[in-house]
């Protein structure tokens, strides 16, 4: 007969979203169990964090274990186009909050979180996949899981937090996916040697290079001396470069002096990988007996490194509401969860659209930047996208367009410095 065990909360996925959710539920004294499809450490992309994450790690007692690992500290974001530089230092931001974070190889980072949880006594089943879920009348559920030996087990849970990232377990099982309104994009990336990094740039920030119209590059140095390097564009652009993935990757480096000088002679740590079609959306972030967190909710685009920040912030909020519910208190999931997340998602959506339509390039590379507006934009880049005192949160699209229009006018009239 199939084994059946019970818990208060079942968390699907042990990425940052799953680990953070489990940490908060466990901290509140409830029995939580995590199931994770992969064996850790496993590779996943998403290596440059935002300062807003730090609040979450601190609140669920995961900050100190990460700090001990000596990951590369990150103090800002630098944008580069044809020798023009827009440097945003998080210590200049408008909203109160953390002014630094980390750049992390995710295999090591995610394992640091799961190791810490296991030390607290929390059960995480690796190489175990959720294959089916049945929701019962009282909102509890019975989930079928299968381990690497093919062993099947059932878990009865009072509530499920789905943090399965690109696995999208509940949206797939219950047809909740909605089409994304962002254009499809593709990335080709690898980890590379970076022996001369000090000569070229400070390693303590992410560097985003405008490669050519619609094509950009991320440079994310790690404390090991290795750097993550990735190219992002619409998929058609990569078709124009001949050869296999490695030849494409190397010729993209060769074609820009900025990259050629720094990485032209360095070796890849692993063969380049590709990813595409990552923008996702779901009809609902919650339902009877479950809540979605992290990438399962909605993932927009990697340009502003917002993924892990949303993963952790959404998981904290979701876990706190699940705990409230388990304590018998009423929860308005729409108002207390979806509507709150939407503020941040919509702010970043406006920034992503403004990045690809050129509005942000006009702002970033203008010769004269209003210092207050620079601080306000800096807060968005640090992940403080819920501070409604910031006009770029309150009305992001209109504010960005208005600012770009003023800059454009001033530059045409020769008013700028
Ligand atoms: C090209 C690219 C670059 C990016 N760069 C950045 C960046 O610099 N900074 C940043 O913050 N974000 C970045 N992101 C986004 C980042 O990858 C994600 O937002 C982040 O990993 C989300 O965390 P998560 O915990 O929600 O999901 P994940 O980290 O994907 O974790 C989900 C886990 O669920 C498990 N799972 C899946 N299916 C099942 C199942 N059926 N049963 C059990 N377990 C399951 C998976 O194995 C996985 O371990 C980038 C994304 C892309 C596409």
How many angstroms does the Cα of residue 21 sit away from the middle of ligand 1?
14
Protein residue closest via CA to atom 14 of ligand 1: 46
Q: Residue 255: what pLDDT? A: 94
Protein residue closest via CA to atom 5 of ligand 1: 46
pLDDT digit string, tens, across residues 136-155: 999 999 999 999 999 999 99
- Look at residue 417 and tell me whether its pLDDT is greater than 70: no
How many angstroms does the Cα of residue 156 sit away from the middle of ligand 1?
26
The share of the chain scoring above pLDDT 90, in percent, equals 88
Q: Does domain 3-71+100-179+279-344 have CATH number 3.50.50.60?
A: yes
Pocket test for ligand 1, best of 47, 155, 302, 306 (most atoms within 8 A of CB): 302
Q: Residue 79: what pLDDT? A: 96
- Which candidate, 40, 12, 51, 8, places its Cα nearest to that of 27? 8
Q: Residue 199: what pLDDT? A: 74
Q: Residue 180: what pLDDT? A: 83
pLDDT digit string, tens, across residues 153-184: 999 999 999 999 999 999 999 999 888 888 89
How many angstroms does the Cα of residue 15 sit away from the middle of ligand 1?
6
Read off the pLDDT of each residue in 80-84 and give the average, rounded to a whole number: 92
Q: Residue 277: what pLDDT? A: 86
Bridge-based pairing state of the strands 186-193 and 152-162: unpaired
How many angstroms does the Cα of residue 196 sit away from the middle of ligand 1?
30
pLDDT band at residue 303 under the 50/70/90 scheme: very high
Ligand 1 pocket residues where CB is under 6 Å: 12-18, 35-38, 44-49, 129-130, 163-167, 169, 187, 275, 278, 294-295, 299, 302, 305, 307-309, 311
Pocket test for ligand 1, best of 14, 46, 54, 106 (most atoms within 8 A of CB): 46
pLDDT band at residue 416 under the 50/70/90 scheme: low
162: left (phi over 0), alpha (psi -120 to 50) or beta: beta
pTM over 0.95, yes/no: yes
- Look at residue 283 and tell me whether its pLDDT is greater than 80: yes
What does the alpha-carbon distance between residue 346 and residue 84 come to, in Å, rounded to a whole number? 29
Domain range annotation of the chain: 3-71+100-179+279-344, 186-276, 357-412
Q: Residue 182: what pLDDT? A: 84
What does the alpha-carbon distance between residue 18 and residue 372 come to, in Å, rounded to a whole number? 37
pLDDT band at residue 296 under the 50/70/90 scheme: very high
Read off the pLDDT of each residue in 342-360 and give the average, rounded to a whole number: 96
- Look at residue 202 and tell me whether its pLDDT is greater than 80: no
Instruction: Encode burial over 360-394: b for 16+ CB neighbours within 10 A, e otherwise.
Output: bbbbbbbeebeeebbbbbbbbbbbbbebeebbbbe
Which DSSP string do the residues of 23-38 spell out, in sequence order?
HHHHHTT--EEEE-SS
Protein residue closest via CA to atom 15 of ligand 1: 307
Protein residue closest via CA to atom 30 of ligand 1: 165
- Look at residue 120 and tell me whether its pLDDT is greater than 80: yes
Q: Residue 196: what pLDDT? A: 81
Atom of ligand 1 nearest to the CA of 17: 25
- Which candidate, 52, 35, 44, places its Cα nearest to that of 148? 35
Q: Residue 317: what pLDDT? A: 98
Q: Residue 2: what pLDDT? A: 86
Half-sphere exposure at residue 251, Cβ-oriented, CA atoms within 13 angstroms: 11
Q: Does domain 186-276 have CATH number 3.40.50.300?
A: no
Report the chain's mean pLDDT, rounded to a whole number: 95
Atom of ligand 1 nearest to the CA of 131: 41
């Amino acid at each position: 007969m199939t084994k059946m065990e019970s818990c208060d909360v079942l968390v699907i996925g042990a990425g940052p979203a799953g680990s953070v959710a489990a940490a908060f539920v466990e901290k509140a004294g409830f029995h939580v169990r995590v199931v994770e499809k992969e064996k850790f450490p496993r590779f996943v992309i998403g290596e440059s964090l935002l300062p807003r994450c730090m609040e979450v790690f601190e609140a669920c007692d995961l900050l100190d274990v990460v700090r001990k690992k000596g990951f590369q500290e990150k103090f800002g974001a630098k944008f580069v186009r044809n020798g023009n530089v827009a440097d945003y230092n998080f210590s200049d931001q408008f909203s109160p909050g953390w002014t630094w974070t980390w750049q992390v190889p995710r295999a090591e980072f995610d394992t640091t979180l799961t190791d810490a949880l296991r030390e607290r006594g929390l059960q995480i089943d690796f190489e175990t996949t959720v294959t089916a879920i049945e929701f019962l009348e009282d909102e509890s559920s019975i989930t079928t899981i299968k381990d690497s030996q093919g062993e099947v087990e059932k878990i009865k849970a009072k509530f499920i937090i789905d943090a399965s990232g690109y696995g999208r377990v509940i949206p797939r099982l219950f047809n909740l996916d909605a089409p994304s309104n962002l254009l499809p994009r593709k990335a080709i990336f690898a980890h590379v040697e970076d022996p001369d990094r000090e000569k070229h740039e400070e390693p303590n920030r992410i560097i985003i290079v405008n490669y050519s119209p619609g094509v950009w590059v991320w440079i994310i140095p790690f404390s090991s001396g290795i750097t993550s390097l990735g190219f992002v564009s619409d998929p058609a652009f990569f078709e124009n470069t001949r050869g296999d993935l490695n030849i494409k990757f190397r010729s993209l480096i060769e074609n820009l002096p900025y990259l050629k000088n720094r990485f032209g002679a360095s070796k890849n740590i692993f063969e380049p990988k590709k990813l595409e079609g990552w923008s996702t959306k779901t009809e609902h972030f919650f339902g009877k007996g479950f809540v979605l967190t992290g990438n399962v909710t909605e993932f927009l685009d990697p340009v502003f490194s917002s993924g892990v920040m949303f993963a952790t912030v959404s998981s904290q909020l979701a876990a706190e509401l699940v705990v409230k519910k388990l304590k018998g208190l009423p929860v308005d999931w729409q108002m207390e969860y979806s509507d709150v997340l939407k503020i941040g998602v919509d702010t970043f959506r406006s920034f992503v659209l403004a990045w690809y339509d050129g509005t942000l390039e006009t702002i970033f590379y203008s010769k004269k930047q209003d210092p207050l507006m620079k601080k306000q934009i800096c807060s968005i880049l640090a992940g403080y996208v819920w501070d409604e005192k910031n006009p770029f949160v309150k009305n992001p699209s209109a504010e960005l367009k208005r600012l770009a229009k003023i800059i454009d006018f001033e530059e045409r009239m020769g008013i700028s410095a």
